[in-house]
Amino acid sequence: MTTPLFNWLDKRSAGVLLHPTALPGDFGIGSLGAEAKTFIDFLAESGMSYWQICPLGPTGYGDSPYQSFSAFAGNPYLIDMMSLAEAGLIPDQELGPLLFLSSDTVDYGGIYKVKWTLLRRIFNTFTKDNHKKANLPYGDFEAFCQENADWLDAYAFFQALKSHFDGVSFHEWPEECLSYSSALASEIFAELATEIEAHKFYQYLFFGQWKEIREYANGKGVSIIGDIPLFVSGDSADLWANPALFQLDKKSHLPSAVAGCPPDYFSKDGQLWGNPLYNWHKMKRDGFAWWKNRLAANFKLYDVLRLDHFRGFDTYWSIPSEAETAVAGAWLKGPGLTFFEEIKKAFPEAKIIAEDLGELFPSVIKLRDETGLPGMEVLQFAFGGEADNLYLPHNHVANSVLYPGTHDNDTSLGWYQNASAEEQDHVRRYLGISGHTIAWDFIRSSYASVARLCIIPFQDLLNLDSSARFNRPGEAQGNWSWRFRKNQLSKLRSESSAYLRKLADLYGR
């Protein structure tokens, strides 16, 4: 038997799934400030070793972290404003408009209207009268720009142009701006110089604050699991700056086919994501250099990476660009093991999780086993069928990561309340429970599983119903907005941290 490429998941442990936007606070969205550190304190107190998050990239229409303007940049919405006020970059009273935003959900519309204006004021203060020497703990701004120029220059120009053209997709920009190379040669580059530098500054703030959060977590014994979407957005700096790496129509320069997945558990019409597809043949010629740069950037942010839609490296669902649903697609061959052999050479100590959910061909399972990457188990997929269901705990394997549900699932309580009578009966008989505390029943079952890593959605720790669901796949609006309140975490810490630590001790996590 061939030795797997990667073999890193060798200890039993547990963690929590929570995107930073869901952290509590008064400014309309969770941020990289004190509340993030308080959450990390809870993880450490509870014997947790991991904090898993969704992608941190800047979001646009639909607010999905899986549809970002960049595969490299961070989301300025997450910047902690209080830290900047304390550094003297903005008076406390000028943050007042943020206080009118919701503390119960993420107010994306309000954030868009208010936070960009405040960030620009902070940039103006930073640049005025040589304030680049301001006492910020994030290092030298010019050095940051130079170190990240390979992606930052194009991203900042892209965002400056997007603002200049009122936020429309770059495909609708004037001809001279349709690609990074042509835009650099146009007069507009010089016109937008200040705006470009501003967007670089926002990234400087984001990466500086995130570095503090990661170092704080690592200091508490908590590792960060980041999430990498397989595909990039159709309206992104990645496509704009690197068109040759994607499957585009030679005349229109628009995607000739787009990504998605066929009909499945989540949708009878499949999922039409609309992302451009990679030109894998082109990427292979230079040893997947763009992907290596992407992974290198992400390993600066995270301790572990989850590769979303892993199956796409084996075979991916290609949908004609004019299709209205994902039904009329076809499976095409991805880069396969060659890709991961190149990644192993570049990152020999890489810790990667394969999101291997959905319709899996034998070739996908073979690829996962050849790479040695741990796959995923989801308890909500286990019940209502036969004993050979791979998601039932007695069928779990050690080299895997177990979730009661993911960010795409309902909460465990919501799932049970909406499950069929057959599923409810099955789960009660299988776990030997009444069903009255299903979220905690799933948590205990996750801890007991042979899967070496279990990740619990934070909503399940709070025993919340479907109103706390984070995402409903296939629905373009109304997702990604759930947040918890400070008192909920305080109550959880006082009532359940000790119990969670006992569970970790009992099951060797």
Measured at the CA of 367, the angle between CA 361 and CA 372, to 5 degrees, comes to 130
Q: Is the pLDDT of residue 408 over 90?
A: yes
| Six token digits for residue 209 | 């604050």
pLDDT grade, residue 318 (50/70/90)? very high
Q: Is the pLDDT of residue 267 over 80?
A: no
pLDDT given for residue 68 in this prediction: 96
Burial of 377 (0-12, 13-18, 19+ CB in 10 A): buried
Buried b (16+ CB within 10 A) or exposed e, 78-87: bbbbbbbbeb
Q: Is the pLDDT of residue 148 over 60?
A: yes
Query: What's the average model confidence in pLDDT over 402-417?
Result: 98
pLDDT given for residue 476 in this prediction: 75
pLDDT given for residue 252 in this prediction: 79
Active site (catalytic) residues: 308, 355, 408
Query: What's the average model confidence in pLDDT over 361-372?
Result: 96
Query: What's the average model confidence in pLDDT over 50-76?
Result: 96
475 vs 353, higher pLDDT: 353
Q: Is the pLDDT of residue 132 over 60?
A: no
Q: Is the pLDDT of residue 79 over 90?
A: yes
Strands (E), 265-366: 271-276, 304-307, 315-320, 330-333, 352-354
Please report, for the chain, the start and end positions of each structural domain, with discontinuous segments joined by +: 13-506
pLDDT grade, residue 133 (50/70/90)? low
pLDDT digits (tens, 9 = 90+) for 40-54: 999 999 999 999 999
Measured at the CA of 423, the angle between CA 422 and CA 424, to 5 degrees, comes to 95
pLDDT digits (tens, 9 = 90+) for 423-476: 999 999 999 999 999 999 999 999 999 999 999 999 999 999 999 999 998 787
Q: Is the pLDDT of residue 131 over 60?
A: no
- Dist CA 200 CA 145 (whole Å): 7
Is it true that domain 13-506 has CATH number 3.40.50.2300?
A: no
Q: Is the pLDDT of residue 117 over 90?
A: yes
88 vs 430, higher pLDDT: 430
Q: Is the pLDDT of residue 1 over 90?
A: no
- Going from the C-alpha of 227 to that of each of 22, 174, 182, 253, 488, the distances in angstroms are 16, 34, 32, 29, 26
Q: Is the pLDDT of residue 156 over 60?
A: yes
pLDDT digits (tens, 9 = 90+) for 25-42: 999 999 999 999 999 999
Q: What's the chain's Rg over C-alpha atoms?
A: 23
Query: What's the average model confidence in pLDDT over 403-418?
Result: 98
Provide the percentage of residues in the chain whose pLDDT is more than 70.
98
Q: Is the pLDDT of residue 129 over 70?
A: no
The mean of the pLDDT values for the chain is 95
Q: Is the pLDDT of residue 99 over 70?
A: yes
The residue to which tokens 């159709």 are assigned: 234
Q: Is the pLDDT of residue 292 over 70?
A: yes
Range of weakest confidence among 458-462, 475-479, 499-503: 475-479
- Dist CA 110 CA 63 (whole Å): 13
- Dist CA 382 CA 438 (whole Å): 14
pLDDT given for residue 271 in this prediction: 84
For the entire predicted model, the pTM comes to: 0.96
3-state secondary structure 190-214: HHCHHHHHHHHHHHHHHHHHHHHHH
pLDDT given for residue 492 in this prediction: 98
Range of weakest confidence among 129-133, 184-188, 354-358: 129-133
pLDDT digits (tens, 9 = 90+) for 302-313: 999 999 999 999
pLDDT grade, residue 233 (50/70/90)? very high
pLDDT given for residue 251 in this prediction: 78
Query: What's the average model confidence in pLDDT over 10-17?
Result: 98
CA dihedral 174, 178, 181, 186 (to 10 degrees): 10
CB within 8 A of 426, min separation 6: which ones?
A: 383, 384, 385
